[in-house]
Structure 1
Amino acid sequence: MRKPLIFLGLIALAVIAAFLVADPDPERLRALRDSLAAWREAHPLALPIGFFVTYVVVTALSLPFAVWLTLLGAALLGFWQGLVLISFASSIGALLAFLVARYLMRDWVRGRLGPRLTKIEKGAARDGEFYLFSLRLIPVVPFFVINLAFGLTRMKAWKFYAVSQLGMLPGTAVYVAAGAQLGDLNSLSGIVSPGLLGAFAALAVFPWVARAALRVWARKRAYRGYERPAKFDRNLIVIGAGAAGLVASYVAAQAKAKVTLVQEGPMGGDCLNFGCVPSKALIASARAAGVARGSEALGVRADVSVDWPMVTQRISEVISQIAPNDSVERYEGLGVEVIEGHARLEDPWTVRVGDERLTTRGVVLATGAAPVIPPIEGIGSVEPLTSDTLWEALAAMPAPPERMVILGGGPIGCEIAQALARLGAGVTVVEAAERLLIREDTEASDAIAAALRDDGVDLKLGAKAIRFGRDDSGAEGGKWLELEDGSKLGFDTLLVAVGRKARLEGFGLEELGIPANKVIETNDYLETLMPNIYAAGDAAGPLQLTNAAGHQGWIAAANALASPFWRFKAHAAPIPHAVFTSPELARVGMTAAEAEAEGVHHEVTTYPLGDLDRALAEGAGQGFVRIVTAEGSDKILGATVCGAHAAEVLAEFALAMRHGLGLGKILSTPHIYPSWSEAAKNAAGRWRQAHVNPRTLRIAERFMSWRRG
């Protein structure tokens, strides 16, 4: 919205500067305009045809001069003739660019536009002509990008032309009006004439008016066929009591809204009961065992024995200690109505729970995700465990599993594998990719793999599981896994950790026409196709993280309660995450590989933790801090920390990225010595050293020499 205002300011300043510098005589301006009018009368077709052809060529070649040509054409041709010519020329030029992209430059356009093309393709597939019309009416995406990107969609050329012609007409009219007023200027005082000021005001206000009108149209389009209740029982209904649902309910209650939380599973969701909390309790016991075994390097000898029943009992106790924070009693005390049962949307404002129908102004879908069981032959016969069933199974075991296979080398697989191995289990990890944690920095991934091997985990990387089976006549129970290379692995316990999928079925989404493929489709404000229904957490994606779910939960609740008067965007803040192995791996933002793949010009700075005094004092110098910055700038695009206390060290980078602070700010901030937090400052210092101008150093050397006399 600020771009039109900036553009208007530049035009006004340019016009004022031209009058002040050139100090033109009003009589000369009138004479120039009269002579131009006489030339146009003598050659009535030359100027319009020449301008029309020029405009078509400029837009077809995607040259960035269309706005200036619009203003110039309006100044030369007047409002009506300028509007007709510019409207048709821009649409024809856009169509030519569309056709060139579709038939001649498809691969180049796909490589050039990258993620922007993906977003446009999704929008076109979902909303078709309406999506194109909205982009034309409110040009949040550059004109030439729309032309090229839509050439790669399935939209027919005639539809693209017709929608572009119609969608661009209001904006074109506003710009042409401004240009026509500029063409009538005779003196500096004309800049403050009502006509020109009105044209400038229209140009500034148009995006706001168009956006509001488009939202009204979209709402009417979405709600067609549904009858909105005259009043509502509740301000908000939240479906799901995981991280996103609990935060959404809390926000609504604090805002004094009448809010109902519908939960089908245990309060706290997967994180409290099956994920973050039990796994970190297990890791704490495993870390104690690992530290004790490695204490000889610090001059302490210890014999380690694991009390397995106590380990599993402690996991249950930790869950019980945290559970009151997420309990029904606490939320009812906050003013949230909690209903146990399965919720289903009957229409955009009605939710059915059992036999009860509840009406609400807004809905937040926080339905979470469930573990994926891959369709591998025979997997059902070997009774696979998932993160949802693992903890009960471990508690029933008298000792750590002797032969455990973990299918999947992602965060869950790596954490559980190392923890159980440190506690005495025999663990094999089978991962189809060539390395663990495939989305993370390669060096960090290799460091985690080396650490797991040191703890006794057998890694089968680049190994595809093709068949499971069991032979009960075997001496050891007979469960086995066959790999693609023909080898077989025997095991007693199988944990499947290949990912999680959003819970999307049974909530009425399909009946309402709300798009939900792998996740529920939402816009930047977490709105679904129905503007009063929001999605958050694992159900909305793209990150399946507790902190991401909580962040989305408050945004969804705030938007559901305050829209249309106020709205918050969901994807403004980078979300940090960590893998709690030893060493830890934590990241926020891009890796260098992601920046390279997206064509982002960047630089990489690496600081080894072996240079950090605190790390050396603790005998934990393995690992590094790696920062991706914009080329020639201290702007942080991403940071990866691999080593002890990585999650805590990363927090400073997450804060800096969220608030636009560069490495210079981190470097100029005093840090405690000796501390792990100094790793961030020292890494910023490495970046600074690499960006010192050699000429500046030579000048400084000469200055100091002069000071010595």
Structure 2
Amino acid sequence: MVNRATKPKRFDRNLIVIGAGSAGLVSAYIAAMVQAKVTLIEAHQMGGDCLNTGCVPSKALIKSARVAHLVSTAARFGIETPTPVINFQTVMQRIRDVITAIEPHDSVERFTSLGVDCIKGYARFIDPWTVEIDGNRRLTAQSFIIATGAEPLVPPLPGIDKSGYLTSETLWNEFAKRRVPPKKLVILGGGPIGCELAQSFQRLGAQVTLVELADRLLLKEEAEAAALVMESLRADGVEILTGHKAVRFEPDKRLIVEASAGLRQIIYDDVIIAMGRKPRVTGFGLEELGLVVNGKLAVDGFLRTNMTHILCAGDVAGKQQLTHGGSHEAWYASVNALARPFRKFKADYRVLPRVTYTEPELAAVGLTEADAVHMGGAFEVTRYDLDELDRAIAEGERTGFVKILTAAGSDRILGATVIGENAGEILAEITFAMKHKMGLRKILATIHPYPTWSEATKYAAGQYGLSHKPEGLLKWAERWFRWRRG
């Protein structure tokens, strides 16, 4: 039953933020910078999933795996080396060291110095204006931001409770205890997390089987780009089973999967569930306030819940699942919370880039070609292949392309996909151009240093220019110069 307590006449805080991941930290920071009295409550670790179990440890793992792969393939650069020896304990310790090095950026000490009141504890709403922390302290606020993140989605498969499964959250502590990587590793889910982990652990010595229900990997991305990622994973030795449905786990570490050809068993030592994430909404008193519908917060375009003084940001909002997306939403949520009721800003997701950190790297922003077709508007596609880029040729990394969608009859960018070495870095210029409504001609007119990966964007813009030459003017110029020659 919804508790609709009387609104207090005085409040302890202007804003209370629940959750100290990327969205919560940015929300608290913004509030402190405008001199609002803000409290940040975190039950577990500052930095949230990104620092402790997500972006940071996974990218540290990917770096070790890439170094191992580079050593093992060094002969193609004229360097003869012995087969690399993987010290798995050292790899996992390095990941811990990287987290430790970054922790101060998200620490209680730093945010306290910025003017944020940081409380370690578990916050629960007891009415729309009051939270209770660990059952013994109560605080009221004019506004709240829920930034409790998300948790791995674990399917209710028969036998899964006794399978010993790991998730993107639990694998780090478990593997930190190991002297060697898992011998036979099964990963369920062919999204970004599953693909990154599959390639990394394969390169570090595991034999990985990646199981995906759909007929291809990375469903949100351009099909031809996803195909290059799948080709690369297979070249590394990953067994990829697309079109396979996980059916059940057997007690003796066997996973039964089903495809059109029938049932198949996969023997494993470890299994990682990477089938997505669900908003973390249980246990905060949100259900009792009537804010949770079908396991999710009901959120409007301004990131407000059904009670407009309670907003949310980050994974829990359910709009996207990206660290930088959480920070992006935090700006809207905090400004809408603090400026209420005088101003409000609708969250804008049109220029929200994303990167899958496989090799080749896959980066995208805005619409894919499938998105544009579905929307029905007229558009053009411009493509530049990286095997023509001098820097790519010099480094022996010629796989990939830049693909840009523009509105028909205009150089206005609707979306882009980049796949290849440093794709995320290449994409940044396109994202900037989209954000500030600059077209491809502006990119083409910008001087890019030679030879760099960023030139790929310029050459893609050049391809667009070539396909839109002023043919009539050029014919007139040809006649003019012919006349000048006599």
* 1:521 Cα deviation after fit: 2.5
> Which of 411, 436, 447 is the aligned partner of 2:217?
436
> Which of 127, 132, 143 is the aligned partner of 1:362?
143
* 1:572 Cα deviation after fit: 5.5
> Which of 258, 267, 283 is the aligned partner of 1:483?
258
2:442 maps to 1:658: no
2:109 maps to 1:334: no
The aligned counterpart of 2:297 is 520
- Counterpart mapping for 1:18-57 below 5 A: none
> Amino acid of the residue matched to residue 254 of structure 2?
K
The aligned counterpart of 1:470 is 251
> Amino acid of the residue matched to residue 539 of structure 1?
V
2:39 maps to 1:260: yes
Structure ranking higher in helix proportion: 1
> Which of 87, 91, 104 is the aligned partner of 1:307?
87
* 1:518 Cα deviation after fit: 5.1
2:68 maps to 1:293: no
The aligned counterpart of 1:173 is none
CA contact (8 A) 2:351 2:365 kept: yes
- Alpha-carbon separation, structure 2, partners of 1:535 and 1:365: 4
What do residues 444-492 of structure 1 show as CA deviations (whole Å, max 9, x unaligned)? 1110001001111110111111111123xxxxxx434343421111011
The aligned counterpart of 2:205 is 424
2:378 maps to 1:598: no
> Amino acid of the residue matched to residue 681 of structure 1?
K
User: Against the structure 1 CA distance between its residues 276 and 226, is the aligned structure 2 distance closer, same or farther, given a 3 Å change threshold?
Assistant: same
CA contact (8 A) 1:283 1:415 kept: yes
Higher deviation after alignment, 557-566 or 321-330: 557-566
What do residues 494-543 of structure 1 show as CA deviations (whole Å, max 9, x unaligned)? 00000000011222223222254354222222122212111100111211
Q: Secondary structure at the match of 2:479?
A: helix
> Amino acid of the residue matched to residue 9 of structure 2?
A
What do residues 7-30 of structure 1 show as CA deviations (whole Å, max 9, x unaligned)? xxxxxxxxxxxxxxxxxxxxxxxx
The aligned counterpart of 1:456 is 237
* 1:324 Cα deviation after fit: 1.1
CA contact (8 A) 1:468 1:482 kept: no
> Amino acid of the residue matched to residue 460 of structure 1?
L
| Number of equivalences | 481
- Counterpart mapping for 1:666-685 below 5 A: 666-685=443-462
Structure 1: any 5+ residue segments left out of the alignment? Answer: 1-222, 472-477
The aligned counterpart of 2:389 is 612
The aligned counterpart of 2:21 is 242
User: Against the structure 1 CA distance between its residues 430 and 666, is the aligned structure 2 distance closer, same or farther, given a 3 Å change threshold?
Assistant: same
CA contact (8 A) 1:470 1:480 kept: no
* 1:226 Cα deviation after fit: 4.2
- Counterpart mapping for 1:159-198 below 5 A: none
What do residues 591-613 of structure 1 show as CA deviations (whole Å, max 9, x unaligned)? 00111011121111110001111
- Alpha-carbon separation, structure 2, partners of 1:362 and 1:488: 52
User: Against the structure 1 CA distance between its residues 572 and 314, is the aligned structure 2 distance closer, same or farther, given a 3 Å change threshold?
Assistant: closer
- Alpha-carbon separation, structure 2, partners of 1:516 and 1:681: 47
- Alpha-carbon separation, structure 2, partners of 1:618 and 1:503: 43
The aligned counterpart of 2:284 is 507
> Which of 333, 342, 353 is the aligned partner of 1:565?
342
- Alpha-carbon separation, structure 2, partners of 1:572 and 1:482: 37
2:102 maps to 1:325: no
Share of identical aligned residues, percent?
Answer: 51
Higher deviation after alignment, 516-525 or 536-545: 516-525
User: Against the structure 1 CA distance between its residues 321 and 603, is the aligned structure 2 distance closer, same or farther, given a 3 Å change threshold?
Assistant: same
The aligned counterpart of 1:269 is 48
- Counterpart mapping for 1:670-709 below 5 A: 670-709=447-486
CA contact (8 A) 2:246 2:255 kept: no
Q: Secondary structure at the match of 1:534?
A: strand
> Amino acid of the residue matched to residue 475 of structure 2?
R
TM-score (norm 2): 0.96
What do residues 556-587 of structure 1 show as CA deviations (whole Å, max 9, x unaligned)? 11221122233333115511010001100000
2:345 maps to 1:535: no
Q: Secondary structure at the match of 2:166?
A: coil
CA contact (8 A) 2:5 2:127 kept: yes
> Which of 409, 417, 438 is the aligned partner of 1:640?
417
What do residues 202-241 of structure 1 show as CA deviations (whole Å, max 9, x unaligned)? xxxxxxxxxxxxxxxxxxxxx9954211111101000111
> Amino acid of the residue matched to residue 19 of structure 2?
G
CA contact (8 A) 2:222 2:370 kept: yes
Q: Secondary structure at the match of 1:616?
A: helix
- Alpha-carbon separation, structure 1, partners of 2:263 and 2:150: 34
Q: Secondary structure at the match of 1:684?
A: helix
The aligned counterpart of 2:191 is 410
The aligned counterpart of 1:399 is 180
What do residues 349-382 of structure 1 show as CA deviations (whole Å, max 9, x unaligned)? 2112122221101100101000011011111121
> Amino acid of the residue matched to residue 454 of structure 1?
A
> Amino acid of the residue matched to residue 286 of structure 1?
A
Aligned-residue Cα RMSD (Å) equals 1.5
Structure ranking higher in strand proportion: 2
> Which of 301, 308, 316 is the aligned partner of 2:96?
316
- Alpha-carbon separation, structure 1, partners of 2:16 and 2:429: 36
* 1:632 Cα deviation after fit: 1.2
- Alpha-carbon separation, structure 1, partners of 2:30 and 2:122: 22
Q: Secondary structure at the match of 1:229?
A: coil
CA contact (8 A) 2:31 2:334 kept: yes
- Alpha-carbon separation, structure 2, partners of 1:655 and 1:267: 30
Higher deviation after alignment, 420-429 or 568-577: 568-577
User: Against the structure 1 CA distance between its residues 351 and 224, is the aligned structure 2 distance closer, same or farther, given a 3 Å change threshold?
Assistant: closer
2:157 maps to 1:380: no
> Amino acid of the residue matched to residue 71 of structure 2?
A
User: Against the structure 1 CA distance between its residues 225 and 501, is the aligned structure 2 distance closer, same or farther, given a 3 Å change threshold?
Assistant: closer
- Alpha-carbon separation, structure 2, partners of 1:678 and 1:399: 41
Structure 2: any 5+ residue segments left out of the alignment? Answer: none
* 1:332 Cα deviation after fit: 1.5
Q: Secondary structure at the match of 1:487?
A: strand
- Alpha-carbon separation, structure 2, partners of 1:386 and 1:600: 40
> Amino acid of the residue matched to residue 552 of structure 1?
E
- Alpha-carbon separation, structure 2, partners of 1:486 and 1:457: 20
- Alpha-carbon separation, structure 2, partners of 1:634 and 1:434: 34
Higher deviation after alignment, 343-352 or 359-368: 343-352
* 1:265 Cα deviation after fit: 1.7
* 1:673 Cα deviation after fit: 0.7
